[in-house]
Structure 1
């Protein structure tokens, strides 16, 4: 799911062959072909996993392929959004705020994180690219059975381990690309098999190519994995 805010003016949005519309911001449902024209605009682009609690709440509130944001809604969210902080512990609270502002319904209280899951999260963020991050290996390192870890991880984070790992890899690759790293080097640094694998994953999960991020120095890009940070 894509949430895009036009920080300094409206965006033009079109779904399939429908006419262009001008919106202060837009939330797009998963797997919806659409065009976004933000030329000359600074934007905040947030990717939300539809399997997360926030993603599921927003998806349930969509009555069509997109949900436009009013200028007041855009201003409220933009005022509270610092991209450098959204990528840290405050990111989960901001995405829950999106649910509130868009009237998508109440979310359950924030989850407590199982101590072994907290250790897994630390391991994942410290693990060098390409190292074994399989469920069995992680379970052995935190002394849980694979089945117990899988259950505890989903209960603690609100997202299964496998999509969490995919989002973590995408985040690392996106950050490397935006910083100017060549695509092949970014793929290796993020743990992809090669740049082709990275490109396929970007198109499948984000609906865009990695090279499209080359212009992201004029935008602010955040990938929300639907997880609490620690």
Structure 2
């Protein structure tokens, strides 16, 4: 039987709750992700590395390929690397990290509150904020020009990202913008563009669109192209995404609010 899942999307991040045993295929999400096993262990598999088996919250850096296996309930917070997740991204850039001590307990307590109550916009934002506050940036924040370009990119039609004009608006060349993005987040700007296209398709699926129409909404060639991109980015199939109980709906490109 499929695990019961609930998802709240807040701004460019969100919270995902799996009430039973669950897991994902190998994927590389382009957000900072904090997975909290509420009562049991957690296994994180990475290519070329030993599996990480812990009973603690696990932080994965943006763009780090991995798979998750959990025999019990989990609460996952997705933190935008240029916003709430800036400190976490610095701490985990390019790797997977198990939290310890007071840091882990604060995050686990916030996750349990989400499980005890109703997953809505306020609860999701509170958990995301609690996760973000567990980390203090150890280096200057991301270049503001990159952050502004990211915000504008999220507002564009996903199938036609105009990276050249975005860079020029910040006084940068396209190659310089790509370099600054990679330096800040540890993965290519083109992968972030793919993530935005996947999320545009996810919003269409949440609104009840058929997979073929959702593929068009994300600028993908066809349904098969969408399925490959969703699996690579989220570790799930478009059908599994559509069956998840979403408690929020899109207000504008790149933004999600409570209905």
After TM superposition, the score normalised by the length of structure 1 is 0.58
Equivalence for 1:46: 78
2:108 corresponds to? 74
1:99 aligns to 2:135 (yes or no)? yes
Provide, for residues 168-224 of structure 1, a one-character-per-residue CA deviation record: whole Å limited to 9, x for no partner.
22222233323433222222112222221121122223322222213321789xxxx
Tell me if 1:217 matches 2:249.
no
Which of 136, 144, 156 is the equivalent residue of 1:113? 144
Q: What does 1:141-156 align with in structure 2 at a 5 Å threshold? A: 144-151=172-179
Name the residue aligned to 1:5. 36
2:57 matches 1:57: no
Q: Decide whether aligned partners of structure 1 residues 13 and 32 sit closer, same or farther in structure 2, where only a CA change above 3 A counts.
A: same
* Structure 2, gaps ≥5 residues long: 1-28, 249-259
Report the Cα distance in structure 2 between the residues aligned to 1:210 and 1:77, rounded to whole angstroms: 26
Residues in 2 aligned to 1:73 and 1:86: alpha-carbon distance in whole angstroms: 13
Indicate if the aligned counterparts of 1:117 and 1:152 stay in contact, CA closer than 8 A: no
- 1:170 and 2:198 matched: yes
Residue 154 of structure 2 is aligned to residue 125 of structure 1: yes
Q: Is the 8 A contact 1:77 1:98 kept in 2?
A: no
Question: Structure 1 93/35 Cα, relative in aligned 2: closer, same or farther at 3 Å?
Answer: closer
* Structure 1 unmatched runs, 5+: 101-105, 221-230
Deviations 1:106-158 (A, max 9, x none): 432433512x862x445423322422x25335445666433344345557878
Matched, 1:161 2:189: yes
TM-score, normalization: structure 2?
Answer: 0.53
Report the 3-state secondary structure (helix = DSSP H, G, I; strand = E; otherwise coil) of the residue aligned with 2:76. Answer: strand
Give the stretch that moved more between structures: 142-151 or 193-202: 142-151
